[in-house]
Structure 1
């Protein structure tokens, strides 16, 4: 990452983990609804550029990338295994000469490796971009960097960079480092400042999950509700794993889906952790979790028919109750 950006964040009071990720700026996240500015240090920008960018990406991911390139939508998307399970996920953002792929930092190398196997046959190129950063605005007054009339789900090119209206509360900004530093005072005015922990918490509250290390090749895109969130198209052409995804959509029935749950505690669990019922039967796996205000907020793919607590199984085979309760997603799931 840019040395000038990292120095600026440190001077602003950044608190980092052992990998250098900016977690927060002295105040860990809570669920209190206040206007906020987040440094999305949990995301990396991978650029896809070239005359074949649209054709190449259309054959690699679940979303219809023409909606991104032609209509300037921003879409979640997955690159799948032959089994139709997600190997890596990303947010697609239109760029003037291709796409920006916003990918979890821990999965950026995997994305480059997986897509890099196929791009050698295309007039397109992939690269990590350390000259720009991702910020997130939550609530608060309008700012010049975001067009007032930008609809939810769409992106816009501005004089400052790219703005993506995620929903009625959240907006992503993809900005050059120099621009982010120059506009920091205006963007942060009247807002609390947060880091990766705050941004991930708001992703969880929005019901948006990603494939993280430990959960590769586990989830169909429908299991992460990507069909609800416009992250999978059933009308586009072929892509790796498409037959499995289409068969489940047209002939199958989803018995597990992404759900938001919480339990008391201050220790998040790693992605891929198996969650069980009181009898030790597996109910699903954890997607992501964060602590906020003495509670663990989590996204997990769980059996839709399950009611009651969730349990972890220790090495001695004993089941330990989490004290979990269901939380409400901000969107409706398809009828079973």
Structure 2
């Protein structure tokens, strides 16, 4: 699994959003899914104190606007995110600054920034095409260590918490490999060979893709809508082993 994931998804263009100021930590704590004081990620940290981690920024409906790879610095935080979303995200965050002593600056990423990314990169980067499409659990962010359920409120927190405590997730992040990379596209539909909806593509590189997969279809033969000749191999699912396929659809109105 490690060899398959190693630097699989690194071609995306990233920007750095610098969040600094006396109130930077407090400000971010009220906006992101992670605990800014205890950053986390599924890949173990090599140092005693973790200074990097994964987090999501959600809208009021609990949908993920973007993911951040967060780097703690002496003056605040560097937030790595897809370059195409940087301006949108900066403008969105400015709405919540009010009187907080916080500055936001968009910059190019540096080599130093990129070295903090884990070698087994399993970040389902959200792009312009699917921003605000998924709740965090659909992207398995709880499994990846990008959500704290012990911290206080943040934008979209009520929806995210409700989904978690119901504990019935029909869709999860998965890694697939396809026989023809030309068939892959953001938001491309994953279907069973019986043409049942099985999910959609979040992000891809080469012939591998991260998808939001319907767990009920994980054991079925899969292909791509409009490319029925393409074979799909399911490589991994990030989910809780206790999750079942037989869920009441009324329990997940957010999905």
TM-score w.r.t. the length of structure 2 is: 0.80
Cα distance in 1 for residues equivalent to 2:136 and 2:109: 31
Aligned residue for 1:253, secondary structure, equals coil
Name which of 192, 197, 209 aligns with 1:282. 197
User: Conserved in 2, the CA contact under 8 Å of 1:39 and 1:135?
Assistant: no
Aligned to 1:164: 116
1:265-304 alignment runs, 5 A limit: 265-267=180-182, 269-291=184-206, 296-304=207-215
Change (3 A) 1:299 1:57: same
Cα distance in 2 for residues equivalent to 1:60 and 1:335: 30
Cα distance in 2 for residues equivalent to 1:61 and 1:32: 29
- 1:334 CA drift (Å): 4.3
Aligned to 1:246: 161
Name which of 60, 84, 95 aligns with 2:62. 84
Change (3 A) 1:102 1:229: same
- 1:239 CA drift (Å): 0.9
1:249-260 alignment runs, 5 A limit: 249-260=164-175
Gaps of 5+ in 2: 41-48, 244-255
Aligned residue for 1:108, secondary structure, equals helix
1:166-185 alignment runs, 5 A limit: 166=118, 170=119
- 1:272 CA drift (Å): 2.0
Count of residues in correspondence between the two structures: 231
Gaps of 5+ in 1: 1-30, 137-162, 171-201
Change (3 A) 1:328 1:55: same
2:19 corresponds to 1:48: yes
Change (3 A) 1:50 1:68: farther
Cα distance in 2 for residues equivalent to 1:305 and 1:221: 19
TM-score w.r.t. the length of structure 1 is: 0.62
Cα distance in 1 for residues equivalent to 2:101 and 2:51: 23
Aligned residue for 2:163, secondary structure, equals helix
Give the alignment's Cα RMSD to 1 decimal: 2.8
2:85 corresponds to 1:107: yes
Cα distance in 1 for residues equivalent to 2:108 and 2:193: 47
1:12-51 alignment runs, 5 A limit: 42-51=13-22
User: Conserved in 2, the CA contact under 8 Å of 1:54 and 1:98?
Assistant: yes
Cα distance in 1 for residues equivalent to 2:65 and 2:172: 17
Cα distance in 2 for residues equivalent to 1:61 and 1:165: 19
- 1:309 CA drift (Å): 3.2
Aligned residue for 2:96, secondary structure, equals helix
Change (3 A) 1:41 1:288: closer
Cα distance in 1 for residues equivalent to 2:5 and 2:135: 32
- 1:98 CA drift (Å): 0.5
Could you say which structure has the larger radius of gyration? 1
2:146 corresponds to 1:231: yes
- 1:223 CA drift (Å): 1.4
Aligned to 1:144: none
Aligned to 1:335: 242
Cα distance in 1 for residues equivalent to 2:59 and 2:4: 39
Cα distance in 2 for residues equivalent to 1:95 and 1:313: 45
1:70-219 alignment runs, 5 A limit: 71-130=49-108, 132-133=110-111, 136=114, 164=116, 166=118, 170=119, 203=121, 207-219=122-134
